Structure 1
Amino acid sequence: MTEQDGLTVGRVATLVGVSVKALHHWDAIGLVRPSARTPAGYRVYSAGDVARIHRVLVYRELGFPLAEIGRLLDDPATDERAHLRRQRAELADRITRLQHMASAVERMLAATRGGIQITPEEQVEIFGSGWDPDWARQAEQRWGDTKQWAQYEERTAGKTADDWRRVSDEHDTLNADLAAAKQAGTAPGSAEANELAERHRTELSQYFDCTHAMQVCLGRKFATDPGFSSYYDGLTPGLSGWLRDVIFANAEAHGVDPDTATWE
C-alpha cells in the first residue's frame, strides 16, 4: 500500500501517537471513521481522516469529552475558533493557578529542606571567602535524587552555625594533616597514610555512608576533576594525586580493587 492509497490503522496510530485500540473505538462511535478499506477489509485513513484525528487530539487535550468533540466537528454551525479562544483563556487561567501552586510548593520545600540551614553570610564567614553559597543548590540539582543526598539532608538538618564552625575546623585540621604528610614524603599504604585515609572517610561519613569503594570513586575525581585537583593542589603541590594514591592503597588493604571499584 502506498501513501497515496491511504494509511493503515497501525501506521496512523504510530504517526499521531495514539493506540490502535483508541482508533478502533473512535471508529465504532463514529468520531473518526476511515474513508475506505482495502480489498482485504483493512481500514484505510486518508489525509483528511488524519487531519480530523489531529483536531480530536487538540480538543481532547483541552478537556472536551469525546461525545462533545464529535458534535463540534460535525456541526457546520460550530465556530471552532470561538471554542478554541475560550479554551485558550481558560488554559491561561489554569497555568497561572498552577504557577502559584508550584511557587507555594517550592516555598514549603525550602522550609522543610535539610542541609545547610544557615545564611549565605554565615556560610562565607564559617567556610571562608572562597566559599560559594550556591554550591549547595548546585549539589542538590546534581545529586538530589540519590540515597546519599537523602542521608546528607537528614544528618545535617538542624545544624547550627556553631555546629558548622566545628565541622569547618575539623575539615581544616584534616587538610593540614594531609598536606603535612604529603610534604613529609609519607608513603601511600603506610600505617600513617592509611590512618589519614580513614579519617578522610570518617569525615565524609558524617554526611552519608561512605564505603571504601565510594571513597575510591571520589579519589579518582580528586586527581582528575579540575575543581577538586586545584583545591587540593592549592593546599600543597601534588596533594590531589597523592591523596588518590593514599585512598587507593587503603582501599586495597580493605579488600577493594581500585581498578574495578564503583559507586555503591
Structure 2
Amino acid sequence: MHYSIGQVSDAAGVTVRTLHHYDRTGLLSPSDRSPAGYRLYGDADLARLQQILFYRELGFPLEEIAAILADPAADVLAHLRARQRQLTDQIEKLSHLVEVAEHAIEVQQTGVRLTPRERFEVFGEIAFDLSYATEAQLKWQESEGHRKAMARAAAHTKDDWRTLMREAAAWRKDLLAAYDDGHAADSAEAMDLAEEHRRHTARWFTPCPPDMHRRIAADFPRDARAFALVVPPSQQRPGLAAFLRDAVDANALRVRRAEEGE
C-alpha cells in the first residue's frame, strides 16, 4: 500500500517541508512515485520514518540518525546510552540554571540575596511568598521608596539579616505578650510597639513615615502572606493582625499630633 506525502504528513505529525528535507538529504526517500511524479511512501518507508522520529525525539542530530540507520551492525544500545548520558548532563545543567533563575527572581522580588540554605538558617519560619512579592512589585513598581527598599535589602549581608531577625524576634515576643495580656490597640504599650516596628522598617529598609506605615499594616489582616512576614503562622493569634494594624493607626495619629504640637 502506498501513501501520498500529504497522508504521511498528517499521520506522522510532521510537515511536508520536513519530508521534502528528509528526501533531499537521503534520510528518507519515498520508495515509489505516481505516474504524475508525486512521492509515494510504502510501509517500509513509514517504519523508517517512525525510527527517525524516535531518534529525533531523543535529540539525535540528523547526521547521526542517518549513520545509525545506514549501518545494519550499528550498536543502537550504545548510541542510546550515550544519548542518555548527554541528556542527563543537560538536565543537571538546566536544573542548575533553574535554581539560578529562581534565586535571581527571589532577589529581585524580595530583596534577599541569600542562598536557600542561608535563608532557612537566618529566617527559620519566616517565609517569603513570591506571589505576594510579585504583587508588591507590581503595586509599588512606580514607588521610589520601594525600589530603594529592595536595593537596601539586596545589599544586606548574612550578618545584617541575622541582626535584623534578632531584633524582629525580640519585638515579636513583646507584641505577643502585649496582645495576650489584653492591652488595647490604642494603649501606650501597643502604640510603642507599633512605633518600634516603624523605626525597624526605616532602619533596615526604607524611610517609613506614619502614613506609609499605615499602608503597610493595612495588608496584615486582609492578606495572610503579608502578616506571615511579621509573625509566622505558628505564633499567630486570632485577631492579632487587626490588633497590630489598629496599633499602627493609633500610633500614626499620636506621631502626627506630636509633630503638630498638640
Structure with more relative contact order (C-alpha pairs < 8 Å, separation 6 or more): 2
